[in-house]
Chain A
Amino acid sequence: EDKVVQSPLSLVVHEGDTVTLNCSYEVTNFRSLLWYKQEKKAPTFLFMLTSSGIEKKSGRLSSILDKKELFSILNITATQTGDSAVYLCAVDRGSTLGRLYFGRGTQLTVWP
């Protein structure tokens, strides 16, 4: 059975801290790994990773994929209260399996 496991399930930090969110996976027909941020409603896209070892960056957020060890991390530096959200990791398994398979998410709370 396919698995996407995120850790920790929840995290509380203070503004300015750096956080690392983890996502491990075991899926058939891996195509890519995606990170989403979900605040109140719709998940919003952060990164798509397809190749091992290539870091993707967007401002204070960065992510990297390890296809040998089957995991990805999402780093957020200098956290702000606006970073408070659920961060979702999903694996794209290809069209016949129903593309995105999600983990349960990490609830990040940033205190001022």
Chain B
Amino acid sequence: DSGVTQTPKHLITATGQRVTLRCSPRSGDLSVYWYQQSLDQGLQFLIQYYNGEERAKGNILERFSAQQFPDLHSELNLSSLELGDSALYFCASSVGGSGYTFGSGTRLTVV
């Protein structure tokens, strides 16, 4: 157990739907990062939050959004889902900018 908790582990949903992925960082970590891993793209950075504020944005689609709550857990919202959004979604946390620890991921399948 890495200390980073992601739920759910698996999610199957239909095109056009909306889902929410949840991440609880390691105790004491203020930064949360979201990554998408697909077979053809590898691990791609989506977005980073630090202590509740957005810090950096990567290749995140406009249909996707995220937030970090006062208790430091984070949610990634994916809407108007397309088949191509099927992927593994990882959350990672760190203390400041070092010691990144990954959660076990959420496997999203859009059918």
Contacts and interface: CB of A to CB of B under 8 A. Distances in A.
Interface of A: 31-32, 34, 36, 41-45, 48, 88, 90, 92, 94-105
A96 B104 CA distance: 25
A44 B50 contact: no
B25 interface: no
Contacts, number: 64
Contacts of B57: 98
B100 A99 contact: yes
B8 interface: no
A95 B50 contact: yes
A37 B111 CA distance: 30
Interface of B: 2, 4, 33, 35, 42-45, 47-48, 50, 55-58, 88, 90, 92, 94, 97-105
27 contacts: A32-B98, A42-B2, A42-B4, A42-B102, A42-B103, A43-B43, A43-B102, A45-B99, A90-B43, A96-B55, A96-B56, A97-B56, A98-B33, A98-B45, A98-B57, A98-B58, A99-B48, A99-B94, A99-B97, A99-B100, A100-B45, A100-B100, A102-B42, A102-B43, A102-B44, A103-B42, A105-B42
